[in-house]
Amino acid sequence: EAGVTQFPSHSVIEKGQTVTLRCDPISGHDNLYWYRRVMGKEIKFLLHFVKESKQDESGMPNNRFLAERTGGTYSTLKVQPAELEDSGVYFCASSRNRDSYGYTFGSGTRLTVV
């Protein structure tokens, strides 16, 4: 089966611009997760979708971040406006079941805000 696909793989934008990251989960995986690793820090949970519903968005840093999962398939994570501290790697993962040991991670999107 195809893995979790993220694009773009890299994005460089200027402070104040908008960027949209996309994640295509493994087909049939209802659970989709976003994590990010800002420079030099831990990988941190952002949010969790079950199908098209946000199950847990406790990790979203502020209202400049908007995640959607229309139709319960792919997901987008929009940052508007981007700030310098948003630079880092954004990971997406998906799982079939609601447990933590069935995750498959994507390769990540490296976001650089200049």
Query: What does the binding site for another protein look like in residue numbers (CB under 8 A)?
Result: 4, 6, 31, 33, 35, 41-45, 48, 55-56, 59, 91, 93, 98-101, 103, 105-108
Q: Do residues 83 and 59 touch, judged by C-beta distance below 8 A?
A: no
What gap in Å lies between CA 41 and CA 37, rounded to an integer?
6
Q: How far apart are CB 78 and another protein at their closest, in Å?
A: 21
Q: How far apart are CB 19 and another protein at their closest, in Å?
A: 19
Q: How far apart are CB 18 and another protein at their closest, in Å?
A: 25
Cα 61 to its chain centre, rounded Å, is 13
Of the pair 17, 74, the CB lying nearest another protein is at 74
Residue 45, CB-side half-sphere exposure with 13 Å CA sphere: 12
